[in-house]
Structure 1
Amino acid sequence: MQKYSFHYGEGFLDFSVDESQVIGELHMAETPVLDNVEEKILAALDNPIDSKPLKDLVKAGDTVCIIANDTTRVANTYVFMPLLLNYLNAQGIPDENIKILFALGTHRDMPYEEMVSEVGEEVARRVKMYNSSCKKSEDFVHLGETSFGTPVEVNKHAVEADVLIATGSVVHHFFAGFGGGRKAVLPGVASFDCVRKNHSLMLNPEAMIGQLEGNPIYDDQIEGVAMCPPTFLLNVVLNGEKEFTGIFAGNYITAHKAACDFVNKQNGVEIGEEADIVIATCGGFPKDINIYQSQKTMDNAVKAVKQGGVVILLAECREGSGSPVFDETVKTHDTLQSIEDSVRADFQIGRHKAYAVTRLMKKADFYLLSKIDDEFAKTAFFTPVHSMEEALEKAYAKMGKDAKIILMPHGSYTVPILKTK
């Protein structure tokens, strides 16, 4: 028996399995961790992709809005934000001319303490910080409509700034292709109606993980963001331990695509066959803060499990599902097909996530080890378990004592790719 220790919340869960049954332990490519990160960030600002250096795009006295990730998306913003402020100061832009706008999308507001944890105490003391609250209609400016019919409504702090800097991290995204880049603006600092219309395109079969070209979600976002384009982009790539492996700066489209190519090489993992049982962790807090965020790991894990198999999901979910609409949806509909039908009939944010989660359950059973109440877990079509021992016992009972196992210690990052014969 081999012992393993997987991230769970802010700690770890230990378990043991027969290593002879393990047909794969999926890790990202051995991408070197960057040293001298601060120096490399500053170098990227002065040597960007398809763009003038940031110092040539700003002038003394400009007002600057910097879009930053919220708590649910890890970017190590606290590392690069003070560097950005000092860099802008050196160009004659004082702190009072700079604001940070948190890209909440449709997520909940961040309390002040969370803002501080994201950017660091020094930055929080120096500049004003704002939540982009998608339903606060007075905060949004209508800029037009895309060819897809999406009303482009962007937070006034982003629209009114002389200089708009988009920051964040790049990972695979289950229907938008990849995170990062244009997503800082749409959905990051867009209105609820704007996000809802854009995300309704996820029902198109071309809206898929790892695909930008021909993806209607991406195409719509690019159209919309062109109405409020970032002056400059700073995107980072992290590994499963939240260490920097890549820094990409410059044009918000082409620099982002370079980051996506890098992520594909780092996070895509080939597997020879699908397993009977997949054991996956989201990677701990904040990746497993709620079902909303854990769904990304579920989407990856289901690519590694065979039809009718079992996924054991380690996701603390200290904030439950993360969406009252998700809760209402799973409580109202008692079949997987009913949820899908409801989304197609009336697309709503939160309901779309219920569909994204439950559609995966048509392929495999999901055993959920979390802090979620058992009854609600069952209502959301999970099988609740209270320990790894219980989860494995149930999985073996279903799939057999000699079941083949794939381990995913970085489930939110690693994307299994089945080898073609």
Structure 2
Amino acid sequence: MTVLLGYGTRTLALPDLPGARVLLPPTPPPVPDLEAAIDAALAHPVGARPLATVATARTRVVVIVSDASRDEPRAELFAAVRRALGAVPDDHLTIAVANGTHGPKPLERLGLPAAVLGRHRVVNHDARDDASMVEMGRTSRGTRIRVNRCVAEADLIVSTGRVKPHYFAGWGGGAKGIFPGLGHDVDIRQNHRLKAEETSALGRADGNPCREDLEEAVRRIGRDTYLVNVVEAGGTIVGAVAGDVVYAHREGVRLARPWCEVEAPKADVVIVSAPLPVSGSLYQASKLIPPAGLLLREGGVVIVAAECPEGTGPLQVVNEGIFELGVRRYLPAGATVLLVSGMDEATVRETYATFAPDLAAAIASARERVGREATVLVLPDAGDLVPRAV
């Protein structure tokens, strides 16, 4: 059987590896009608009134969509929210792009219809633009809360997004669209320092310091907030949730968990990959390492297959803020990370990873390090997994 790995702008065929195990999440049944699923979630929200009853013609609304680094059905989510907010005139509705620390990118990459972008005010959030920020207090953990002015000026904030595993916030989606999505760069990084806490862990929503801090930040903003998220597993949308930004999010986690949690014995070599946009840069592809680390033996090797057509991303952030602060703790003692990408050796040498020219060479190098009889485990879309070693 040929195993194709998501790699970037193309796929990679896994070399023949006798005895290698391929770990896939369970295959969930997709929702038969995405539009109907989102509409149903909006009509039966968790911990909140139906969105259609929340806003009037006078309500100033901000609808948040994720940035292009996430593969989400933004157009379908926005269209469903707009149907529910039929009483709100176009000039009372602002679309805000939750760029977080990533920085503004061209709006056409969002996949929203040009007519929609032309009909509403659009805020392409820049976390480094001090003039666009409003001070909203601090969390009990000391995180300063500055958010885009459009949030402070609104009566109602509707955050769209996707619930799927996240290596330090536990799960994506929920309050993340508001903060850090529309937060100040410095404040976001202050929250992200909590990723070093052991309980800021992949697959953990409750009792997670990082997520608790960002959810507290959103509560302290003092605006009506609402969530509309799809629930994704294995690249398949399995449902939708709407309502309170915390309670509805946890319902999304409950729906996702059975399709993302997997068990496997530990291995000497773990190969991870993902399609775009995760494999677009090392900044994004680094999030594939924590699932691998949970299934790696001491002294083992993680092989990351990610083309990285957009390069490394900001090097200091990648090496320190992502790897040293949040990723390294998932790796057992003596572990090595090999990177198979489209970048040259000199570029990779500046990162935390070790260069490998191709997948076959990476596997050969891994076997030299751990022995010819090394056990090999392959996670073709590691970003969708919450693994547990057995």
User: Could you tell me the TM-score, scaled by structure 2's length?
Assistant: 0.93
Does the 8 Å CA contact 1:300/1:411 hold for their aligned counterparts? yes
* Partner in structure 2 of residue 388 of structure 1: 359
* Partner in structure 1 of residue 373 of structure 2: 402
The one-letter amino acid of 2:113's match is G
Per-residue deviation at 1:319? Answer: 1.9
* Partner in structure 2 of residue 96 of structure 1: 91
Matches within 5 A, 1:174-193: 174-193=167-186
The one-letter amino acid of 1:94's match is P
* Partner in structure 2 of residue 335 of structure 1: none
Over the residues paired in the alignment, what is the CA RMSD in angstroms?
Answer: 1.9
Which residue among 233, 236, 246 is the counterpart of 1:239?
Answer: 233
Does the 8 Å CA contact 2:232/2:238 hold for their aligned counterparts? yes
Which residue among 51, 55, 77 is the counterpart of 1:54?
Answer: 51
Higher alpha-carbon deviation: 306-315 or 192-201: 192-201
Q: In the superposition, relative to structure 1, how do residues 261 and 363 fare at CA in structure 2: closer, same or farther (>3 Å)?
A: farther
Matched, 1:76 2:45: no
Does the 8 Å CA contact 1:297/1:411 hold for their aligned counterparts? yes
Per-residue deviation at 1:113? Answer: 2.5
Which residue among 84, 94, 106 is the counterpart of 1:111?
Answer: 106
* Partner in structure 2 of residue 315 of structure 1: 306
The one-letter amino acid of 2:231's match is V
The percentage of aligned residue pairs carrying the same residue is 29
Which residue among 244, 254, 258 is the counterpart of 2:251?
Answer: 258
The one-letter amino acid of 1:322's match is G
Which residue among 366, 369, 372 is the counterpart of 2:340?
Answer: 369
Does the 8 Å CA contact 2:78/2:160 hold for their aligned counterparts? no
Matched, 1:152 2:123: no
Q: In the superposition, relative to structure 1, how do residues 256 and 380 fare at CA in structure 2: closer, same or farther (>3 Å)?
A: same
Q: In the superposition, relative to structure 1, how do residues 326 and 79 fare at CA in structure 2: closer, same or farther (>3 Å)?
A: same
Matched, 1:280 2:272: yes
Which residue among 41, 46, 53 is the counterpart of 1:44?
Answer: 41
Per-residue deviation at 1:378? Answer: 2.3
* Partner in structure 2 of residue 303 of structure 1: 294
Cα distance per residue 1:170-211 (max 9 Å; x no partner): 122222222211111111111122212212222322222222
Q: In the superposition, relative to structure 1, how do residues 42 and 363 fare at CA in structure 2: closer, same or farther (>3 Å)?
A: farther
The one-letter amino acid of 1:222's match is E
Per-residue deviation at 1:324? Answer: 4.5
Higher alpha-carbon deviation: 144-153 or 379-388: 379-388
* Partner in structure 2 of residue 210 of structure 1: 203
Q: In the superposition, relative to structure 1, how do residues 298 and 50 fare at CA in structure 2: closer, same or farther (>3 Å)?
A: same
Matched, 1:14 2:13: yes
Per-residue deviation at 1:366? Answer: 1.5
Matched, 1:292 2:275: no
Cα distance per residue 1:269-291 (max 9 Å; x no partner): 111x211111110x211111211
Aligned equivalents of 2:31, 2:334: Cα separation in 1: 38
The one-letter amino acid of 1:290's match is S
Residue segments in structure 1 that go unaligned for 5+ positions in a row: 331-350
Count of aligned residue pairs for this structure pair: 387
Cα distance per residue 1:347-380 (max 9 Å; x no partner): xxxx311413455565421221112231231232
Per-residue deviation at 1:321? Answer: 2.1
Does the 8 Å CA contact 1:167/1:234 hold for their aligned counterparts? yes
Aligned equivalents of 1:164, 1:410: Cα separation in 2: 32
Does the 8 Å CA contact 2:292/2:382 hold for their aligned counterparts? yes
Aligned equivalents of 2:224, 2:314: Cα separation in 1: 29
User: Could you tell me the TM-score, scaled by structure 1's length?
Assistant: 0.87
Per-residue deviation at 1:297? Answer: 0.6
The one-letter amino acid of 2:184's match is S
Aligned equivalents of 1:215, 1:135: Cα separation in 2: 27
Per-residue deviation at 1:74? Answer: 2.1
